[in-house]
Amino acid sequence: MKLPSRATTVVFAVAIIVTGLITARPARAAEPRPWLCRDKPVFSSGGPMTYDASMRGSGQWMVIFMTFDPSGGHDGFTIFDSRTVSGSVTGSLERGQWYAVGMYREGGRWVCAAQAQENHQFVPGIVRDLCYGASPDGCDVKLIVREAGHSAP
């Protein structure tokens, strides 16, 4: 039995779409999605800032900086910068309000870090001093955000 030309075209198009969805799904799961993490430590400054992130544990870690705009991005969050942390990385941020999310790779997927631990000791020039870990008491990645012009002690 021969299918009409239009039916063959529709079946072929559906097969291509289904194949595309199936093959695209694993690649999408491998991308970090920090806007879905519950713990998004926030910090702000009226001037520019710098940050230092250093690896203290093991594994593959990433620190992602986002801003919030209810009209854009993912659930209102827009990714500004993402850095793989292996050793130490530094960068700069403009003045304003920022969210910093720690994520680690586990079984081919990016997983949100446990709630970030903060060092509450006051140090002049330090905007935020955070530790991210796979477990609540861990500190696999240390992130220090400073006002621009303040160097590490």
Domain spans of the chain, in order of start: 1-30, 34-147
Question: What is the H or E stretch that residue 117 is in?
Answer: strand 117-118
Residues of the chain with pLDDT under 70: 1-29, 150-153
pTM of the model: 0.76
Q: Which residues pair with 118 in a beta bridge?
A: 130
**What pLDDT is recorded for position 116?**
95
Q: Is 3.40.1160.10 the CATH classification of the domain at 34-147?
A: no
- Percentages (nearest 5) of helix, strand, coil residues in the chain: 20, 45, 40
pLDDT number for residue 10: 47
